[in-house]
Structure 1
Amino acid sequence: MKVFVTGAAGFIGFHLCRRLLAEGHEVLGLDGMTAYYDVALKRQRLSILRRSNAFSFAEVMLEDREGLEEVVLPFVPDIVVHLAAQAGVRYSLEAPDAYVSANLIGTFNLLEMTRRLRPQHLLFASTSSIYGGNTAMPFAEADRTDFPVSLYAATKKAGEAMTHSYAHLFAVPTTCFRFFTVYGPWGRPDMALFRFVSAISEGRPIEVFGEGRMLRDFTYIDDLVEGIVRLMAKPPEQGKPVDAEGVSDSLSPVAPWRSVNIAGGQPLGLMAFVAAIEKAMGQTAEKIFLPMQDGDIGETSADPSLLLALTGFKPETGVDEGVEAFVEWYRRWQESR
């Protein structure tokens, strides 16, 4: 197939593109190459993807509708995977304009283009943060998402609503996949695993927010990609919900649209995650315990039953295995710099 991926130079986009290329698909990647974190890391990812003749790339901001359409309309993708976004809960307190621009205007421009392209399936990257102030665990797709506690989460909720309206109006099959604390090799420098490993390597203390009491449904990157690839082959059909006992489908009653959690449903305490890092590195971290930051939520836990019913798969990679893979990658990456 021909697959268009936004955010192709990002952490998740890189891994997805590499998987798609390995499976023989033709991939057009797009990324704005913003300086939210080190652009050199993004360029390293791209250099690997460019080894394939089936990969092409355009450096274009989603806010540039004319530039976006000029690149993508001639490609005529079968599948569109929209990963590009301004990410990060904490950064949304510092630069809210970036979230409105990328996550709202950028997504609108993409939807306007998709309306013209009519691909077989549009997949939109949402987030566990969308569950916000919900206290019932685990989070299920049918739960209300009316209480976002960060602007980042609010823009992702808006993105889901926008994609639903376009799916209804223009019959573009759409899946919003909600990912939970994704980690692994080539991860973002602003995320906890990268920051912790970097600090420990350099003999610096790590900052542990929420006094270390937070729980997260950690998802290894290869598992997330596996879930996305399997969902690509399962475009929603209006009026045809999942027929599986005990599974509540999020399929819209008025559109070929659904949301799906991609996570294993096995939350782990933050300190257990830190312990896995210390084990993989063979070092004990000096820890500074800090209060919960504004916009964070104390616990995330996914109900993966809909994903399992749709695809026969749910994430299973253990944290010890996943963290060890990251540490091995980080050491090689540091040596190559």
Structure 2
Amino acid sequence: MTNFFKAALCASMLFLAGASAKVNRTNAVLTVLEEYKDLTAFYELFKSTGGGIGIPEPAFEERFNDNNVGLDFTILAPTNEAIAKVHGLTEKLTTAVGYPLLTTLLRTHILPGKLAPHDLYNKNIVSIEGFSIHTDSKGVITTNPGLTKTDVRARTQAKLLKDKRGKLIRVPASNGVVYKIDNILDPLLTYFGEDSARNHRSLPTIKHSPSKSMKDILAADPETSRARELLYTVAPWFPRDRLDMSFSGRRTKENSKVVYLVPSNEALKSFTKVAEAPGNADATRFFLMAGFGRMDGKHIKGRAGFKLEIEGGGL
């Protein structure tokens, strides 16, 4: 991912050198985020995609913030206060490893067209990222309604903010409109579903195979064949460079703490052929490798600094 991030950054810099002067960003939707003091934290997330160039990378700046394109967009923008609720999120998302997750979340907050309030209420609208956004008559926002069977009922993810008169806070832009919301949308939670909290008395039996590498185990396990197929499509280097470590010899102590929580075929039912498309490869790669890390008691320190917890005990 670091190499990808560097490549994207270089491409952005080259593009800016020759084409940034042609961009008309005056009062465009991302410029509005930059100029409104309580939306600057959200704009900073967009800007971080461009590295140190001072504006978002072309995938955002040229697509959504150029009046010359002739397309309108609606942005559901979390306020600075909303982003501050999730402590440490900005730091994790703006790392090179967190880049695919960041871009997925940003595009989820962008809707096609210039939508009036009546266009939002009681409608399912597909975001630019492809996730479905639903807003009820009170301005309560949920994502992916009815898509996934889940133990935990989908809760309110955010609300459209209103002024003292009860009207939606609507910020017009030259190529669309911005609505303020009070939380960050998390479409991944509702897309994959959420298990209910259970008091597990015991974990499944763990079989140790000292003579086999994680790559060998993954290759022979029929219940994780979809994960294996996807890995070799979007990250062929990962099984070789990360999972082919021996658990014997001088590195036994070091490797004994390395864990890969691989998604089962059941867990990956929603990863259709679309997940293999070049445009989705970065996000798919991120989620497949999210369970790779190092054990520390009941926690696994994984990619981008996120911690995973094993419910019911450690390994």
Q: Same fold (TM over 0.5)?
A: no
Q: Give the TM-score of the pair, scaled to structure 2.
A: 0.26
- Higher RCO, Cα 8 Å, sep 6+: 1
TM-score (norm 1): 0.25
